[in-house]
Amino acid sequence: MKGTLRYLAGIAGPNGFGSRSTAEQVTQHSFFPCSHLTAIITGGTSGIGAETARVLAKRGVRVVMAVRDMKKAEMVKERIVKENPEADIRLFEIDLSSLSSVARFCSQFLSQDLPLNILINNAGVFSPNLEFSEEKIELTFATNFLGHYLLTEMLMKKMIDTAEKSGIEGRIINLSSVIHSWVKPDCFSFPKLLHPIRYNGTRAYAHSKLATILHAKALSKQLKDRNANVTINAVHPGIVKTGIIRAHKGLFTGKVKLFNHTYI
């Protein structure tokens, strides 16, 4: 309860930051190595992804935006470069719901022979209706989890090699959600999830976010066993007016706010 009140009041925690801290404030005194870091961010055309891209570019990080809508990405890039003419922004197309598109993106990125220090698996969708990807996989799960899983797997060797050569710890960030706690241990059931009549978009979203956390936990152990200088974390960003929240206001945001305050 005490932590909840501190969060609601925006009171800073032990690290000096609170719920009202901005990305610029958090990174203001961070140490960024002289060697040019490279970060891949999925879903960088709006919300958390766009702000992350802007601030990392401002701190001198080369930002690779992996996006579905190249036109929107060009607009975001233009705004970032206008604010910071020295920004190094690269745009690559990807549809995370399509495994072939993910594989194509990885092939294109790896052909550039760039280092890879940071991978931010940020993009996500929420669909109130039952939809399927081109591989006939439920769309929310395909986009939020499977696409990022394949992306991470295909880029893992590059991240490990970059960390070994540079001596700089690699970072993988999976954007998750406190809503994962809505999935009970005995309810991770795809047949129930795919019922055409009783399909529940919020439940599907929760399943995808739980899978994202389980992926981070499993991969963290694998990286440790390999003595790789790369870490992975799953993070709950709090309630932010992202595209998902704006598009589906009222469907589950009120409940998420309640769980968000309880969780913190």
CA distance 263 to 236: 10
149 counts as catalytic: no
Q: Do the strands 38-42 and 62-67 form a parallel or antiparallel pair, or are they unpaired?
A: parallel
Q: How far is CA 218 from CA 167, 212, 232, in A?
A: 24, 10, 10
Contacts of 254 (CB under 8 A, 6+ apart): none
CA distance 162 to 117: 7
Q: Which of 7, 199, 205, 263 is catalytic?
A: 199
| Cβ neighbours, 10 Å, residue 8 | 11
CB-based contact 256:179 (threshold 8 Å): yes
Catalytic positions, written as ranges = 199
